[in-house]
């Protein structure tokens, strides 16, 4: 069944090429299509475009479909063009002409728009929660190993002493900041396009504010033209947010891979989290974090793929945007997988102790020596030159005591501040509305 069918047989190759994997993707949107249809039906009753008895019958039938969808018993057959046409067909088979009234005052354009908005809002909130779970896991590791020393590097050269408290805590803070980008994407998805129809509104007296309230949207897409232009724009903003989180995870994964190497040996993973070599018996490869790095790096290109489809499109609907649906749904699924793997693998990281006691890291304490001289009254630039001379002459000795107390230092990584931020973010959706 095709909602636009005029009785002409469509070329099979053309149809297969243009539909693509839309039916598979629409299964992910089915729940939201039915939820939006219930809100639309109730609104039609309110404004007098649908009788109360017919409205109740449609809502009851739609509610039955919702039960089937949530139970995993809903399918879209090959002869259905998409979820919208299939839902209408099922309603018509069950209710006769009443089922045909469901499409009053809307187009497939605003149907798929509202489905995607509801889907993205829900999925991005799920991802937001997972990001906070990973941040909490990292903070737990930071607290557990807050005093374990770790060399800091700049330019891949030994720099200054750090700690696992700062390392784990740093990535936790990065993810907390990434949440603000996710909130921006949720805000973009949290607007109601229903009633914009094909992008130019309707002659029916639709109550768009009622469906906005019924679907718990933060606001209404006011102009029907912008509602239509938000197709692709919303997905691109979601992809940008996913890419930001993926960037943080990829960098973290790279650190883990690097720190596992025999040259550094900062951390270790249990045998069951590593793989071996087909020829080298000694190998213990951190494949889980290598694959995490690669999959997250690939996720960062999602917004570019979406942008390439949108580039130079005029206003109004174009069939091109259909294929953005698959791109963003797969990216959503991939992001959730990467977050869950990070959450699973991180607690199994074991930091090495006494790393900073290795001779290689003697010069990591040159700044501590400079600070020691400054505290004794020597100007900083003179103290710097003195310590440089000690290094050059081979007379440098690590200071007996080193202290750091400011927020964000080894002695005070500020983990309690990050814990409070985490809890605040759990209690609010920020820009998500």
At residue 2 the predicted structure's pLDDT band, cuts being 50, 70 and 90, is low
pTM comes to 0.92
Decide if 7 is inside a domain: no
Give the tokens for residue 224: 């029907």
Domain edge (last residue) among 87, 104, 121: 104
Residues 22, 138, single domain; the answer is no
Residue that terminates a domain, selected from 329, 357, 385: 357
Q: Three-state DSSP class for 151? A: strand
Task: Report DSSP letters for 232-298, one per residue.
Answer: HHHHHHHHHHHHHHHHHHHHHHHHHHHHHSTTT--EE--GGG-B--SS-TT--B-HHHHHHHHHHHH
Task: Enumerate the β-bridge partners of residue 350.
Answer: 268
User: Are 276 and 145 members of one domain?
Assistant: yes
Nearest-angstrom CA–CA distance, 268 and 134: 20
pLDDT at 328 exceeding the cut of 80: yes
CATH number at residue 238: 1.20.200.10
Query: Based on the domain organization, do 195 and 273 belong to the same domain?
Result: yes
**Residue 319: band (very low, low, confident or very high) from pLDDT cuts 50, 70, 90:** confident
Cβ-based neighbours of 296, under 8 Å, separated by 6 or more: 246, 247, 249, 250, 253, 338
**How many domains does the chain contain in total?**
3
Look at the block and give the residue holding tokens 């990050």. Answer: 418
Which three-class secondary structure state does DSSP give residue 365?
helix
pLDDT, one tens digit per residue, over 169-185 is: 999 999 999 999 999 99
Q: Give the pLDDT confidence score for residue 104 in this predicted structure.
A: 96
Residue after which a domain boundary falls, among 57, 76, 104? 104
* Residue listed under structure tokens 């979820």: 83
pLDDT at residue 281 in the model: 84
Of 343 and 276, the one with more pLDDT: 343
Q: Which long-range contacts (CB under 8 A, 24 or more apart) does 288-292 make?
A: 288/341, 288/345, 289/253, 289/254, 289/256, 289/257, 289/260, 289/345, 290/253, 290/257, 292/249, 292/250, 292/253, 292/338, 292/341, 292/342, 292/345
Both 150 and 209 in one domain: the answer is: yes
Same domain? For 121 and 90 the reply is no
Residue 278, domain extent: 109-357
Q: What are residue 126's phi and psi, to 5 degrees?
A: -65, -45
- What 3-state class would DSSP assign to 31? helix
Q: Quick check: helix, strand or coil at residue 343? A: helix
**What pLDDT, in 10s, does the model give residues 350-361?**
999 999 999 999
- 4: pLDDT confidence band, cut at 50, 70 and 90? very low
């Amino acid at each position: 069944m095709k909602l636009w069918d005029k009785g002409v047989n469509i070329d099979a190759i053309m149809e297969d090429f243009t539909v693509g994997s839309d039916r598979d993707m629409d299964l992910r949107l089915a729940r939201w299509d039915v939820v939006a249809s219930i809100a639309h039906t109730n609104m039609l009753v309110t404004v007098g475009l649908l009788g109360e008895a017919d409205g109740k019958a449609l809502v009851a039938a739609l509610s039955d479909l919702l039960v089937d969808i949530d139970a995993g018993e809903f399918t879209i057959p090959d002869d259905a063009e998409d979820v919208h046409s299939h839902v209408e067909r099922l309603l018509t088979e069950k209710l006769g002409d009443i089922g045909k009234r469901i499409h009053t005052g809307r187009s497939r354009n605003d149907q798929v728009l509202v489905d995607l908005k509801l889907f993205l809002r829900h999925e991005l909130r799920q991802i937001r929660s997972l990001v906070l779970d990973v941040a909490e896991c990292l903070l737990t590791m930071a607290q557990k190993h807050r005093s374990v020393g770790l060399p800091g590097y700049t330019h891949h050269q030994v720099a200054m002493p750090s700690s696992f408290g700062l390392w784990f805590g740093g990535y936790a803070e990065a993810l907390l900041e990434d949440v603000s980008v996710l909130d921006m994407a949720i805000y973009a998805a949290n607007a109601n396009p229903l009633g914009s129809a094909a992008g130019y509104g309707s002659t029916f007296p639709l109550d768009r504010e009622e469906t906005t309230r019924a679907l718990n949207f933060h606001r209404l897409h006011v102009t029907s033209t912008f509602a239509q232009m938000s197709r692709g724009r919303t997905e691109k903003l979601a992809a940008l947010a996913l890419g930001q989180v993926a960037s943080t995870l990829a960098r973290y994964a790279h650190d883990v891979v690097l720190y596992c190497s025999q040259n550094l040996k900062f951390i270790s993973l249990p045998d069951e989290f590593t793989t071996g070599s087909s020829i080298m018996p000694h190998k213990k490869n951190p494949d889980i974090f290598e694959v995490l790095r690669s999959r997250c790096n690939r996720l960062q290109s999602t917004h570019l793929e979406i942008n390439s489809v949108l580039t130079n499109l005029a206003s109004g609907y174009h069939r091109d945007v259909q294929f953005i649906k698959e791109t963003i749904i797969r990216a959503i699924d991939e992001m959730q997988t990467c977050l869950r793997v990070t959450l699973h693998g991180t607690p199994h990281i074991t930091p090495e102790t006494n790393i900073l006691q290795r001779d290689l890291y003697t010069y990591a304490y040159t700044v501590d020596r400079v600070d020691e001289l400054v505290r004794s009254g020597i100007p900083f630039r003179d103290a710097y030159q003195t310590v440089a001379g000690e290094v050059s002459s081979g007379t440098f000795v690590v200071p007996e005591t080193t202290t750091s107390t400011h927020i964000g230092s080894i002695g005070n990584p500020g983990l309690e501040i990050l814990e409070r931020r985490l809890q605040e973010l759990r209690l609010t959706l920020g820009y998500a509305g």
